[in-house]
Amino acid sequence: MTIALASDHAGFSLKTGLLEYLKEKGIPARDFGTFSDERIDYIDYAIEAVEAVLRGECDRALLVCGTGIGMSMVANKFRGIRATLCLDEYMADMSRRHNDSNCLTLGGRMVPLDEARLIVDTWLETVFEGGRHADRLKKIEELEIKNFK
Ligand code: RB5
């Protein structure tokens, strides 16, 4: 599984730590920036990472801004992206089991690196349950088709 990583300035430090962590785990990752803590717009970096997922170059995206909110708002504008803001391992677990999350968003000002590592582990390892949850995701997909055509 290849992960597309991106952050803004507020998420830069956490993204850097998580990139290192993925490397340690032997998980391929592509870093779409930003590459410093100079102030930029999270939107532009989210787009790059999410589009790499939609093109099939990466399997999932991991996006970090100050709160994780802005990144999730941008990512969820893209049809086929199921972005979930997770503040703890429980949310990460549920985001996979019930929501089939393919985009994790984190807040660099919300969670320390050690907690973020656990969230990422859970998000990477937990399997989607399907069944009634797949039916619900289908309804969301239908909404995307209806609202974005
Ligand atoms: C930047 O100050 C901050 O607004 C951004 O990182 C993010 O938290 C937006 O949702």
pLDDT in tens, 36-69: 999 999 999 999 999 999 999 999 999 999 999 9
Q: Which CATH class is domain 3-147?
A: alpha beta
Classify residue 139 as exposed, middle or buried by CB count within 10 Å of its CB (0-12, 13-18, 19+). exposed
Q: Is residue 53 within 8 Å of 59, Cβ to Cβ?
A: yes
Q: How many CB atoms lie within 10 A of CB 146?
A: 8
Mutation test of ligand 1: which of 34, 64, 67 has the most ligand atoms closer than 8 Å to its C-beta?
67
Most informative mutation of 13, 14, 71, 106 for ligand 1 (most atoms within 8 A of CB): 71
Q: Give the pLDDT score at 23.
A: 98
With a cut of 70, list the residues of the chain below it in pLDDT: 149
pLDDT given for residue 147 in this prediction = 84
Neighbouring-strand partners of residue 106:
64
Longest distance between any two alpha carbons in the chain, whole Å: 45
In contact, 3 and 31? CB cutoff 8 Å: no
Q: Where are the domains of the chain?
A: 3-147
Rounded to two decimals, the pTM is 0.97
Does a cis peptide bond (omega within 30 degrees of 0) precede residue 34?
yes
pLDDT of res. 41: 98
Integer Rg of the chain from CA: 14
Q: Closest Cα partner for 2 from 72, 42, 62?
A: 62
- Annotated catalytic, 133? no
The 3-class SS string of 27-38 reads CCEEECCCCCCC
Query: Tokens 């656990």 map to which residue?
Result: 118
pLDDT at 71: 99
